[in-house]
């Protein structure tokens, strides 16, 4: 199995986001929350999307209410918040569980692939990187800002491979 075996429902609750549609691209899956102290990272994620999408980066936001009840809104409220506050243009999924036995199957897979530290979100804005072949290759906690030079350098190296 690899990342291409997984599908999320879009935040519009109609369309599917099939990771297999992104074969040959770098995919960054990030669990998000509107009321988190790390919510400012939406700006950095959008900047990465803008900077690297032509080079094959796909950012996918996965809203989750798993940590501190920081995403209690419904999908429509989440989309409105992301649009009006951050101008998000990268794909957002509907709200999902990202940890534990009820986690979306993608996150159960990344736990097996990357282990507990890198593959399981332990807070909002955990970033999981999928390579161009659909393999989970890295996970970064919320403490790693998308805007940080070191993270952007790592991402640029992954994209250039």
Residue 36 catalytic? yes
Residues 83-122: tens digit of each pLDDT: 999 999 999 999 999 999 999 999 999 999 999 889 999 9
- What CATH number is associated with residue 53? 3.40.30.10
Distance separating the N- and C-terminal Cα atoms of the chain = 22
Instruction: Write out the residue range of the structural domain in which residue 156 sits.
Output: 3-160
| Section 128-143 average pLDDT | 96
Average pLDDT, rounded, for the chain: 96
Side-chain-side CA neighbours of residue 40 (13 Å): 7
User: What pTM was estimated for this model as a whole?
Assistant: 0.96
Catalytic residue among 36, 58, 114, 155: 36
Residues 14-52: tens digit of each pLDDT: 999 999 999 999 999 999 999 999 999 999 999 999 999
Query: Cβ(82)–Cβ(61) under 8 Å?
Result: yes
How many domains does one find in the chain? 1
In sequence order, what are the beta bridge partners of 138? 129
């Amino acid at each position: 199995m690899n990342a291409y075996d997984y599908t999320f429902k879009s935040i519009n609750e109609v369309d599917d986001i099939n990771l297999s549609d992104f074969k040959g691209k770098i995919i960054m899956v990030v669990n998000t929350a509107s009321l988190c102290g790390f919510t400012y990272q939406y700006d950095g994620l959008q900047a990465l999307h803008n900077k690297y999408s032509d080079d094959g980066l796909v950012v996918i936001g996965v809203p989750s209410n798993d940590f501190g009840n920081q995403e209690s809104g419904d999908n429509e409220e989440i989309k409105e918040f992301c649009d009006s506050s951050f101008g998000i243009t990268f794909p957002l999924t509907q709200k999902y569980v990202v940890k534990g036995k009820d986690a979306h199957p993608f996150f159960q897979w990344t736990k097996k692939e990357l282990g507990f530290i890198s593959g399981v979100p332990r807070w909002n804005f955990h970033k999981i990187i999928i390579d161009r072949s659909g393999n989970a290759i890295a996970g970064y906690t919320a403490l790693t800002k998308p805007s940080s030079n070191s993270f952007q350098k790592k991402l640029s190296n992954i994209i250039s491979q």
